[in-house]
Structure 1
Amino acid sequence: MDFKNILISVDASDNARRAVDYAAQLLGQVRDARVTLLYIERAPGRDRFDTEEAWLSQCRLEHERVFGFLKDAREVLTKAGLPDAAISERTVLCSAEPSVAQTILDVQQEGGFGTLVVGRRGLTKGEEFLFGSVSTKLVHNAKNCAVWVVQ
């Protein structure tokens, strides 16, 4: 695994923005660093919408929001000093199984990423117990890589 091959998992949240900002500060002048921005896409549940049209509209809004975020994240990284050619984006469609955390770990292993960067949502212990925490699962299950959890 190459520690200069960095995977930043993002979800277009403020926490993901902090993870990108942190990585940009640390990596801006690192020679030969390569960054992949990973978005795990999960379609909203159809049962939450009255019509197919409403569901598709929500999917489009989410798509626009995420791709706007990815564009902004790329800009943050290039302004910090990373060459545009050293930054890539990847979107993976994830169903209920495997989990988001497992999907991130699968991408990390497949891509030979030596560094994994994620933002932390800041769940309470009770919320983490009930719902799980992606960052906690990544820290406990990542192999052969450094994990940066940014709060």
Structure 2
Amino acid sequence: MECMKVLIAFDGSDNSFKAVEYVGEIARNCSGSEICLLYVERLPDKDLFPDDESWKNKCGDTERDIRQKLEEARDKLVDMGVPQEEISVEYFASCKSPFHDKDICSTGRSIGMDILRIREERGFGTIVIGRRGVSKAEEFLFGSVSTKVVQSAVDCTVWVVS
């Protein structure tokens, strides 16, 4: 089977793990694939914390948790038969992160648009994203990352897994 170049938009949810499994089922039968597990950092609202230290602690806890889940997702792909050298993991930090000082970072305005930008810059032909389990009312009021990706994607394939 022809190799794939797939970007998995990962947020640590059950549905993002389902997206990983879906890709693993297909990619284990391909050789020479390129699979990127991408997490776009979304920082907690600083105003919800009594001080900067509490906010930084929450940011650190969240990052450790997500990095662990990214490694679990990578291990899942490897266990399913995808060669480890075909898998990359990227933690795309927020520009406002208290821990990362990068030239290229997420502005936090639209995770969906960050995903699409990375897909285009790196030439991924397929985006795989788990549907976040929000209600129709919440999706209407606040939108969702998967909806934004589906509505704005151009010149690529988008798989939404739920």
- Shorter-chain TM-score category? over 0.9
Query: How many correspondences in the alignment?
Result: 149
Residue 113 of structure 1 aligns to a residue in which SS? coil
* 1:47 aligned residue: 47
Is 1:103 matched up with 2:117? no
* Residue pairs, 1:1-80, within 5 angstroms: 4-80=4-80
Larger RCO (alpha carbons 8 Å, 6+ apart): 1
* 1:84 aligned residue: 84
* 2:132 aligned residue: 121
Would you say the 8 A contact 1:3–1:114 is kept in 2?
no
Q: CA RMSD in A?
A: 1.5
Deviates most, 109-118 or 50-59 = 50-59
**Over 4 Å off, 4+ runs:** none
- The amino acid of 1:126's aligned partner reads A
Residue 4 of structure 2 aligns to a residue in which SS? strand
What percentage of aligned pairs have identical amino acids?
40
Would you say the 8 A contact 2:3–2:32 is kept in 1?
no
* 2:98 aligned residue: none
1:67-108 deviations in Å (ceiling 9; x for gaps): 1001101101111111111110112222332x1110000000
Give the Cα separation in 2 of the matches to 1:42 and 1:127: 18
1:101-141 deviations in Å (ceiling 9; x for gaps): 10000000001000100000132221111010211121121
The alpha-carbon deviation at position 45 of structure 1 amounts to 1.5
Q: Return the structure number with greater helix share.
A: 1
Cα distance change of structure 1 residues 148 and 42 upon mapping to structure 2, 3 Å threshold: same
Give the Cα separation in 2 of the matches to 1:10 and 1:88: 12
- The amino acid of 2:46's aligned partner reads R
Q: TM-score, normalised by structure 1?
A: 0.92
The alpha-carbon deviation at position 3 of structure 1 amounts to 7.1
- The amino acid of 1:104's aligned partner reads I
Give the Cα separation in 2 of the matches to 1:3 and 1:121: 28
Give the Cα separation in 1 of the matches to 2:8 and 2:140: 25
Structure 1 residues not aligned, in runs of 5+: none
Residue 105 of structure 1 aligns to a residue in which SS? helix
